Amino acid sequence: MALENAAALNGNISKFSVVSNYTGDEIDIRGGIAEFYYYESVMDNTVRVNVNVVDGGVEAGNKDSAAKIEYPQSFTVGEKCFISIEDGYGQEINLIDEYHLRIKTNSNSTSNALSSFYTLNLWSEESIKNNQVSKRVVKKYEGKVSDTIFSILRTDYLKTPKDIFVDPTFNNLVVYGERKKPLARVHELAARSVPEGILNADGIRAGYLFYETSIGYFFRSIDKIFTQEVNRRFIYNNTTGLPKGFDAKILSYQFNSFIDLESKLLDGSMFDTELITFDEYSSEYKGEGEDAFDAKTQTEDSNFTAGTDQIKIFSDSDSEFENIGATKSDFKVRDVGISNPGITFEEQLQKSTEDNFSVDNILRQSRARYNNLFTVSLSITIPGDFGIRCGDLVHISLAEQSTSTLTQESERNSGIYMIVDLCHYIDSNPAVTGTSGNCYTRLNLVRDTFGKKPIPIT
């Protein structure tokens, strides 16, 4: 669905109220908001909001009110905040009811006789629960990792009422809580997960992302993300018109990085990685050079990548670097005879020789997948669009830099990218002031390959 590009110049904060810890009053502070920032990231387990507030002593919608923010109703950490924002397209983000946020920090930057200036940083209620000792994970879990994730988040510890979107995992795993925080345990298990439903996924496709958006929690396979449909198409050009098939124009963009050879050598994400292991049960040692994983196999199949062309970062057929080999070495103790499945002693003894966690097929693969995902990084600014979320795929059309008089699309840099971070920004509040508030969305995008996949134009 093509969007009306001009409509996104406006943004609206239709609700922003704070429930006082002191009086229990719900205070409407929209009239004092000078700047509003909403953040999501696939690397963060909470959405975040930052607002700059000017307190002039008048509550929005109540001209006769006294100072509603000053003591005893002053902003304090932990207070509930109910927020709704709307972009120029009519798309909403509602952080109310079970999706409400709470004040994480409050700084009073400057004050004078007539007004005070505050900066509020907000995060999720689950972020507070995550730090409670009573919520530490202590149970033993068996079975699919995705089932364990759901139990930790919903039924056993965090008990979040929010929606949880999980890509089922292929691998089973015995998991001990080890008194770790719930969100930390989930992040650890993301690196030990292999997606279900992909042929030959074990040994290549390991690696999940765990993050929160405005609609709930996501535990998603990186490779499964790249099989979903593109959510938006954006173009950067020098005309005022929006070509058919595109949703909005890119206002500005910059490439943050292409490839850092040193980092790729250190993390092994585009080279071989050797694995040295020791099995305490059998006293078996697997030494250097016996087992190497080639990270380039993860980007050979374009069905699970952003582009069609693998990134080649080292080639020298006339020197000793023709076959550069492994650039990273790992040492791990195998989990054999330690984390045994089963409830009774007999059940555990029967499976005591099985490897609970396959370091050969998961450990190096997931780490390589994380690192090659961030090979190319691009940031763009577009008119405010609240219908996109981190983890979505977008198609970017950039012009080829050439001396030709004809503008052509870059075959190398255009194509599919994944949203890794986003920020929605509103610089004033039409709901209270009656003026048009500028609204922009900043997207940090990443991809693991170059080249364009064909995207149908509707």
Q: For residue range 402-412, what is the model confidence (pLDDT) as tens digits? A: 545 455 788 88
Has residue 380 got a pLDDT over 80? yes
Has residue 8 got a pLDDT over 60? no
Q: Which residues contact 448 (CB under 8 A, 6 or more apart)?
A: 298, 299, 305, 306, 307, 311, 372, 373, 375, 376
Residues 128-156 have a mean pLDDT of: 95
Average pLDDT, the chain: 84
Higher pLDDT, 387 or 10: 387
- Give the integer Cα–Cα distance in Å for 293 and 205: 12
Handedness of CA 179, 184, 186, 187 (dihedral sign): negative
Per cent of the chain over pLDDT 70 is 81
pLDDT at 433: 59
pLDDT at 57: 54
pLDDT at 335: 74
Has residue 4 got a pLDDT over 80? no
How does strand 272-279 pair with strand 326-333? parallel
Q: Which of 287, 280, 293, 286 is nearest to 355 (CA)?
A: 280
Residues 386-406 have a mean pLDDT of: 82
pLDDT at 1: 44
- Give the integer Cα–Cα distance in Å for 8 and 239: 18
Question: How many other β-carbons are positioned within 10 Å of the β-carbon of residue 262?
Answer: 7
Global confidence as pTM: 0.89
Helix (H) or strand (E) holding 369: helix 364-373
Residue 72: is the preceding peptide bond cis (ω within 30°)? yes
- Give the integer Cα–Cα distance in Å for 4 and 355: 55
pLDDT at 453: 82
Band of residue 127 on the pLDDT scale cut at 50, 70, 90: very high
Q: Of 144-158, 198-212, 295-309, which one has max mean pLDDT?
A: 144-158
Q: What is the Cα 159 distance to its own chain's centre?
A: 21
- Which of 24-28, 406-410, 446-450 has the lowest average pLDDT? 406-410
- Give the integer Cα–Cα distance in Å for 225 and 207: 11
Has residue 285 got a pLDDT over 80? no
Residues 270-277 have a mean pLDDT of: 78
Q: Which amino acid is located at 217 in the chain?
A: Y
pLDDT at 71: 44
pLDDT at 345: 67
Taking CA atoms, 150 is separated from 65, 137, 287, 390, in Å, by 46, 13, 38, 21
Question: How many other β-carbons are positioned within 10 Å of the β-carbon of residue 247?
Answer: 25
Band of residue 64 on the pLDDT scale cut at 50, 70, 90: very low
Band of residue 274 on the pLDDT scale cut at 50, 70, 90: confident
Higher pLDDT, 325 or 411: 411
pLDDT at 56: 60
Taking CA atoms, 16 is separated from 49, 127, 128, 130, 321, in Å, by 11, 20, 21, 25, 59
Taking CA atoms, 220 is separated from 1, 167, 189, 438, in Å, by 25, 5, 12, 33
333-356 per-position pLDDT tens digit = 777 767 767 676 676 676 676 776
Q: Which of 170, 284, 162, 257 is nearest to 215 (CA)?
A: 162
* Contact in structure between 130 and 124 (CB atoms under 8 Å): no
Q: Which amino acid is located at 332 in the chain?
A: K
Q: Which of 84, 54, 83 is nearest to 67 (CA)?
A: 54
67-111 per-position pLDDT tens digit = 455 544 567 899 999 999 999 899 999 999 999 999 999 886 666
